[in-house]
Amino acid sequence: MPRELVFVGLGLYNEKDLSLRALETIRKANTVFAELYTSLMPAFHISKLEKLSKKNIILVSRRDLEEEAGQKILDSAKNGITVLLVPGDPLIATTHVDLRIRAEKQGIKTRIIHGASIISAVIGLSGLQNYKYGRSVTVPFTDESSTVETPYRVIKENKRLGLHTLCFLDIKAEEKRYMTIRHGLKALLSMEKTKRKRVVTLGTLAVGVARAGSDNSTVKADYVAGLMNYDFGPPPHSLVFPGRLHFVEAEALVTLAEAPESVKEMVK
């Protein structure tokens, strides 16, 4: 029996985002697992994918993969072709690299079938040039143990270099909690009151993206004050803070993301 673990990207929206190669691999697999806690696919239903692939799909939790080190998946892969379905593009925005390393060390062959990524989708929808993005960062839900100091610092450092910042907004799928653009901006503005470095103010340009990859995605560029009151609709949401703008990028923000015409005056 082949010993193989295949990481398959589900894409961004629903089961139809799968590539034909991915679907063929799922149909040939001995066992299929899926994790859905790392991202929200708004119209994805396991039952529909089971009908499409003619396979039973076993849902695994954060505990299965993190606390138990994915042992049930590794045990399965030792006895046949096993697929792990992951939202987006596996091993990119959310990573299961540890699981892949453990598999290889145990003599289990691994491979990846890529899917659409939130990274490329948001970059494409924003109209901002890919090579001008700096480090990306997640804005977390704040509680007793976390703050938004890290994303604030990353935005600051990227801006100093003239680079754009892609901000993922926190997701707690098990609790059905999905951070909105308004929530993320409020958290960053709160940090601005503490740091006072004028990194994220009401007059800062930002781009909000909702439901990237769907037929009803929303993209809106405006100053933070405007975005705070804009209705982006249901999640998932993402944020981009532009750095230094090229004139084509400014034109794209105005034309594709309904940015104010004054954005063109920011070109350097």
* One pLDDT digit (tens) per residue for the chain, 268 residues: 789 999 999 999 999 999 999 999 999 999 999 999 888 999 999 999 999 999 999 999 989 998 888 999 999 999 999 999 999 999 986 679 999 999 999 999 999 999 999 999 999 999 999 999 999 999 999 865 567 899 999 999 999 999 999 999 999 888 889 999 999 999 999 999 999 999 999 999 999 999 999 999 999 999 999 999 999 999 999 999 999 999 999 999 999 999 999 999 999 7
Phi (first) and psi of residue 45, to 5 degrees: -135, 125
Q: What is the pLDDT of residue 268?
A: 78
**Among all chains, which residue has been given the structure tokens 């691994």?**
110
Burial of 147 (0-12, 13-18, 19+ CB in 10 A): middle
Numbers of helices and strands, H then E, in the chain: 10, 12
Strand, coil or helix: 191? helix
What was the pLDDT predicted at 4? 97
DSSP 130: G
Distance CA 181, CA 226 (A): 12
| d(C-alpha 80, C-alpha 205), whole Å | 51
Boundary of a domain, candidates 113, 132, 152 = 113
Domain that holds residue 46: 4-113
> pTM for the full model?
0.92
Q: Do 137 and 103 share a structural domain?
A: no
CATH number at residue 109: 3.40.1010.10
Asked if 178 and 56 sit in the same domain, the reply is no
Eight-class DSSP state of 177: E
Total domains in the fold of the chain: 2
